């Protein structure tokens, strides 16, 4: 790899982009993530005639450029020139010294060229950004695995309307690829079961890299599980419940995947029960330890295997009760299902029978 150092005006950089000779978003790059205040501060820095850090561009063999480092700053230049936002003094470019900003102020441009292997550019991008915690975990994974079929699958899922309609992530979270990070965790459930934190997500990229049949099977199982949750969402919007939160959704996804062969009627009643008890699952609910404990595991050690198993266990308890002969008044110890019955003042004869299971009656919740 060779490099040269040049001095460019901002207008020269913008001209390259306008002529489609500068790719701001090669596959290893992150999204446009800067906040508006950050963009305004950058504009102020230039107006104060302070220098900016180096820009790194990769010159392809076809004569075009890739932005290796400096994407956020370049996008800020483009937006400011287009009049999309002002500086911190509320001055737009037309109200200030436009010639100084576009032509007189100079950028230090480092041009990388004669690269024997594209991976060298990716490694350079990774090294430049990882110090000082500029890149978050999913951005690092994307840069390291941008040609990996598992990463391609994760990105396809994140862009699919069937997943996006669940509205699990805000726009800002999507910009930082937090949706892709979570998708990796959901795929990990299918391949490895419930695991501790994210330790098995990275393994996916290795285990399935050259296993197209296994990857196709994983994809099919993922969408089959999501389809169940989409039915839930159409019945009652997930975004209006606690189950849109990452820890709760992880548990819900785990349950639906594990018991994917349940009847449609059982799933319908199951979700109806979850919606009804939603507001009761809070850390302050001292009248029902089962709900309180579930809520606690969402805020303490929330992504540990132990906490995840406990939350799944409660959903299983609610769903798969196979007895209706509780003597609630005389027992000193009660299990989670009995405690929930006591909490809602439900009697044995009021339990709903379906497919051999005794479930909580909706009208009593």
Q: What confidence tens digit (pLDDT) does each residue in 241-261 have?
A: 999 999 999 999 999 999 999
Average pLDDT for 295-303? 88
Question: Rounded mean pLDDT of 175-191?
Answer: 90
How far is residue 54 from each of residues 2, 93, 118, measured CA to CA in Å?
16, 23, 21
Residue 46 has pLDDT above 60, yes or no: yes
pLDDT band per the 50, 70, 90 thresholds, residue 329: low
- 176 or 53, which is more confident? 53
Question: What digits encode the pLDDT tens for the residues 214-224?
Answer: 999 999 999 99
Residues in the chain: 365
Mean pLDDT of 139-151: 79
Of residues 74 and 34, the one with the higher pLDDT is 74
CA 77, CA 95: separation in Å to the nearest integer? 16
Q: What is the pLDDT of residue 332?
A: 62
Query: Pick the residue with more confidence: 69 or 244?
Result: 244
Contact residues for 59 (Cβ-Cβ < 8 A; gap 6+): 65, 111, 112, 113
Give all strands (DSSP E) within 10-99, no chain letters. Answer: 22-23, 55-59, 65-69
What's the pLDDT at 134?
56
Question: Which residue did the predictor score with more confidence, 123 or 91?
Answer: 91
Q: What is the pLDDT of residue 128?
A: 61
Are 296 and 302 contacting, i.e. CB atoms less than 8 angstroms apart? Answer: no
Say if residue 181's pLDDT is above 50.
Answer: yes
Q: Is the pLDDT of residue 133 over 60?
A: no
User: Looking at residues 196-203, what average pLDDT do you find?
Assistant: 85
**pLDDT value at residue 34:** 78
pLDDT at 212: 92
DSSP 76: H
Average pLDDT value for the chain:
88
Region 1-25: mean pLDDT is 91
Whether the pLDDT of residue 59 is over 90: the answer is: no
The residue with greater pLDDT, 322 or 140, is 322
Task: Compute the average pLDDT of residues 202-211.
Answer: 90
Whether 132 shows a pLDDT value over 50: the answer reads no
Residues 6+ apart with CB under 8 A from 105: 9, 10, 46, 49
Identify the pLDDT of residue 101: 94
Mean pLDDT calculated for residue range 161-188: 88
Tokens 């509205």 sit on residue: 167
Instruction: Tell me: pLDDT of 147 over 80.
Output: no
CA distance 241 to 229: 13
| Whether pLDDT at 131 is above 60 | no
Assign 352 to helix, strand or coil: strand
Alpha-carbon distance of 119 to 109, in angstroms, equals 21
pLDDT at 25: 81
State mean pLDDT over 280-305: 92
The more confidently predicted of residues 137 and 119 is 137
Q: What is the mean pLDDT of residues 38-60?
A: 88
Q: Quick one: which of 190, 188, 182 has its CA closest to 206?
A: 188
């Amino acid at each position: 790899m060779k490099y040269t150092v040049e001095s460019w005006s901002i207008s020269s950089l913008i001209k390259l982009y306008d002529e489609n000779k500068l790719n701001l978003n090669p596959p290893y790059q992150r999204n446009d993530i800067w906040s508006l205040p950050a963009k305004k501060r950058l504009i102020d820095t230039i107006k104060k005639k302070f220098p900016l850090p180096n820009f790194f561009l990769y010159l392809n063999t076809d004569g075009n450029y890739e932005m290796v480092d400096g994407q956020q700053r370049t996008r800020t230049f483009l937006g400011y020139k287009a009049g999309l936002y002002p500086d911190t003094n509320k001055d737009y470019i037309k109200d200030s010294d436009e010639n100084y900003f576009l032509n007189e102020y100079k950028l230090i441009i480092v041009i990388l060229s004669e690269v024997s292997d594209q991976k060298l550019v990716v490694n350079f991008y990774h090294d430049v950004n990882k110090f000082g915690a500029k890149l978050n975990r999913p951005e690092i994974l994307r840069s390291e695995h941008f040609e990996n079929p598992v990463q391609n699958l994760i990105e396809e899922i994140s862009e699919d309307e069937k997943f996006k309609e669940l509205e699990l992530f805000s726009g800002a979270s999507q910009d930082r690829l937090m949706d892709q990070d979570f998708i990796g965790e959901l795929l990990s459930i299918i391949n490895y079961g419930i695991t501790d934190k994210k330790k098995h997500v990275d393994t996916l990229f290795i285990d399935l890299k050259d296993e197209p049949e296994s990857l196709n099977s994983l994809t099919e199982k993922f969408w089959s599980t999501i389809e169940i949750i989409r039915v839930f969402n159409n019945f009652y919007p997930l975004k209006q419940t606690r189950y849109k939160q990452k820890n709760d959704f992880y548990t819900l996804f785990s349950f639906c995947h594990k018991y994917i062969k349940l009847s449609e009627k059982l799933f319908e009643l199951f979700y109806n029960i979850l919606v009804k008890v939603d507001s009761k699952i809070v850390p302050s609910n001292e009248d029902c330890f089962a709900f309180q404990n579930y809520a606690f595991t969402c805020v303490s050690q929330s992504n540990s295997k132990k906490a995840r198993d406990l939350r799944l266990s409660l959903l299983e308890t609610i769903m798969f009760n196979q007895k209706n002969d509780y003597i609630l008044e005389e027992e000193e110890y009660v299990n989670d299902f009995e405690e929930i019955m006591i909490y809602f003042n439900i009697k044995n004869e009021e339990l709903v029978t379906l497919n051999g299971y005794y479930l909580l009656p909706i009208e009593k919740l």
